[in-house]
Each structure stands twice: as structure tokens, then as C-alpha cells.
């Protein structure tokens, strides 16, 4: 079980020479996801050696350009690369229409299946699940319908406690599958050996929460409680809290307060406004509230 997050872009609004809009590549429990797809995403994927073919699921938080204007270019490139595997895209209602229109008008012939999962619920919901990972939405509050996403590893089966098992000669290797599945063992005497005595608990599943553009929204805390890694937008410093409120963005202090109250393992902040030349100020301000805060920067990798 492992988690690795690569920051591809982490700035707000328009792309600049050394500032790319939001996009992240997540590897969790051997599953691979692209989260948001601002302009320049595929350039960044090549620069930081993110495998195009490994991605089968793309999650778009909202339909502001700095979060999805790179999507149609990426889909077109997949067509050029003769992709055959189906690709799943999760995002707000409307993403299918705007994407297919661009592909149609530009005659970008994507021969591979593209499956859209359009979202409209304002409640947290399970939107993806396999035997390794589950993904839930985190309803946010921005100027348009917006979701964050919570990625959680599936819990592994309990492990055999072979030392304890050896105390019971009746238990045979043929019983091991049932024990791993959580079943107790009944001896010939009728004595019940609890499964907890015969197994060891698995490691805690790892989790990552991505909170895209949003105003300060403390009611997301129960959803992201105790996550190992939290990305939360911090467009402004606290000196512009008025502007954050007006534009429905968050400050670095507000992001840190969310992290502290949710008791997360580590906080990553990003989506910096271009008005700030020194992004270290964001970390300095957030650390006053939540010490384990790191800055998102292109190419930076966070691993657990």
C-alpha cells in the first residue's frame, strides 16, 4: 500500500512562464488518476515522466478554464497515440457536452471509448470503486458547481498470526483462507477461537483529499477527517480575506484551519494568486496554525 502525488500545476487563473494551472497525478495502491487538467497538463506530464497510458480515470473539479482547458488536448493526443482502452471522465454536468463539441468541431477522432460520469449532487457520494481504491466527492462552495475528491485505499485482509495459530494443532493450512476472511475457528471440543486471536490487523488504509477552488467550508471536515494527505486551495493570504470571500476562494490560514480541525497528516496548499511574488509567505502563514504544511510546486512529489 502506497501513495504518491505529483504536482503538475498549482497556480490560479492564467498560465505564465513558470506557473501552470491546476493538475495533479495520483498513484494510490497501484491505481493511477489524473486530477484536474489545466492548460499545459500534457506538457507537464511529459516533463515529469507521468505515463500517459497508465491513466484510465480523470477527475475534473469544476468547469473553470484553469482546471479543465487542457482536457481536450490530452484526449486528442490519446487519439494520435492510438489509444484503445476506455477512458473514464468524472466532472460536473456539462463536461460531456463541452468536450465532445470540441472534439467534433476540431475533427479530433478519438477511436477509444470515452465514458463520462456527470455529477450534480450537492451531497458527498461514492463515484468510483474497485478492489484497490474508492473515490468520494467532497462538495465545495465556489462560483460554479464544484467538487473535491477523496481517494481511499481499500483495507487489506487481516494477516495470519502464525505464532498464535501454532498453539492450536487442530488448525490446518486448509483453514487459512477462512481465517483470512475473518471467520472464527471452532475446535472439536466446541471451543471458539476468535479471529482476532488468529490474525493481525492490516495497516491503516492511506487516503488523499483534493479540495479544489472553494471558500472556507468547515462542513467538509467530517468527510476528510484524519486523511493522510490533504490538498486545499489557498489563493490568498489573510490580508485579502475580503477578496477571498467575494470570489469564493480560501486563504492560507483558512486552509490550515481546515487541516487542523480535520486532524490530517499533512497539508499541501496551492492555487496561488499571481498578485503574490513570494509564495513562501503562504507556507509561513499556514504554519502558524498547522505546522505540517507544504507548498505545492510543479514537479514536487509527495509520498507516503
Q: Which of 36, 66, 213, 228 is catalytic?
A: 66
- The dihedrals phi and psi of 44, each to the nearest 5 degrees, come to -65, -35
C-beta separation of 83 from 112 below 8 A = yes
Give long-range contacts, CB 8 A cutoff, 24+ apart: 277-280.
none
- CA 211 to CA 223: how far, in whole Å? 11
C-beta separation of 224 from 150 below 8 A = yes
- CA 82 to CA 76: how far, in whole Å? 10
242 catalytic residue (yes or no) = no
Angle of CA points 115, 118, 121, to nearest 5°: 150
Q: How far is CA 80 from the centre of its chain?
A: 28
> 57-59 and 31-35 as β-strands: parallel, antiparallel, unpaired?
parallel
The set of cell numbers assigned to 285 is 502563514
Count of Cβ atoms closer than 10 Å to residue 284 Cβ = 13
Name which of 57, 8, 3 is nearest 28 in CA terms.
Answer: 3
Angle of CA points 176, 180, 182, to nearest 5°: 120
- 52 HSE (CA, 13 A, CB side): 20
List, by residue number, the catalytic residues.
Answer: 66
Amino acid at each position: 500500500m502506497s501513495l504518491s502525488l505529483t504536482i503538475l500545476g498549482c497556480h490560479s487563473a492564467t498560465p505564465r512562464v513558470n506557473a501552470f494551472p491546476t493538475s495533479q497525478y495520483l498513484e494510490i495502491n497501484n491505481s493511477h488518476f489524473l486530477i484536474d487538467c489545466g492548460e499545459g497538463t500534457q506538457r507537464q506530464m511529459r516533463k515529469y515522466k507521468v505515463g500517459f497510458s497508465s491513466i484510465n480515470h480523470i477527475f475534473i473539479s469544476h468547469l473553470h478554464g484553469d482546471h479543465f482547458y487542457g482536457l481536450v488536448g490530452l484526449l486528442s493526443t490519446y487519439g494520435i497515440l492510438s489509444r484503445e482502452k476506455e477512458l473514464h471522465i468524472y466532472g460536473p454536468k456539462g463536461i460531456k457536452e463541452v468536450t465532445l463539441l470540441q472534439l467534433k468541431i476540431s475533427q479530433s477522432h478519438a477511436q477509444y471509448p470515452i465514458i463520462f460520469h456527470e455529477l450534480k449532487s450537492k451531497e458527498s457520494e461514492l463515484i468510483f470503486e474497485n478492489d484497490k481504491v474508492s473515490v468520494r466527492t467532497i462538495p465545495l462552495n465556489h462560483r460554479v458547481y464544484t467538487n473535491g475528491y477523496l481517494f481511499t485505499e481499500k483495507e487489506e485482509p487481516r494477516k495470519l498470526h502464525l505464532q498464535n495459530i501454532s498453539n492450536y494443532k487442530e488448525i490446518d493450512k486448509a483453514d487459512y483462507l477462512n481465517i483470512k476472511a475473518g471467520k472464527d475457528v471452532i475446535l472439536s471440543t466446541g471451543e471458539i477461537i476468535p479471529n482476532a486471536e488468529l490474525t493481525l490487523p492490516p495497516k491503516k488504509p492511506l487516503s488523499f483529499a483534493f479540495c479544489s477552488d472553494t471558500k472556507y467550508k468547515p462542513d467538509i471536515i467530517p468527510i476528510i477527517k484524519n486523511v493522510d494527505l490533504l490538498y486545499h486551495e489557498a489563493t490568498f493570504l489573510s490580508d485579502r480575506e475580503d477578496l477571498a470571500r467575494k470570489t469564493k476562494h480560501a486563504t492560507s490560514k483558512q486552509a490550515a484551519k481546515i487541516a487542523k480541525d480535520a486532524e490530517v497528516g499533512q497539508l499541501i496548499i496551492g492555487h496561488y494568486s499571481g498578485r503574490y511574488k513570494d509564495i513562501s509567505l503562504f507556507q509561513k502563514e499556514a504554519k502558524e496554525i498547522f505546522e505540517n504544511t507544504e507548498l505545492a510546486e510543479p514537479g514536487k512529489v509527495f509520498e507516503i
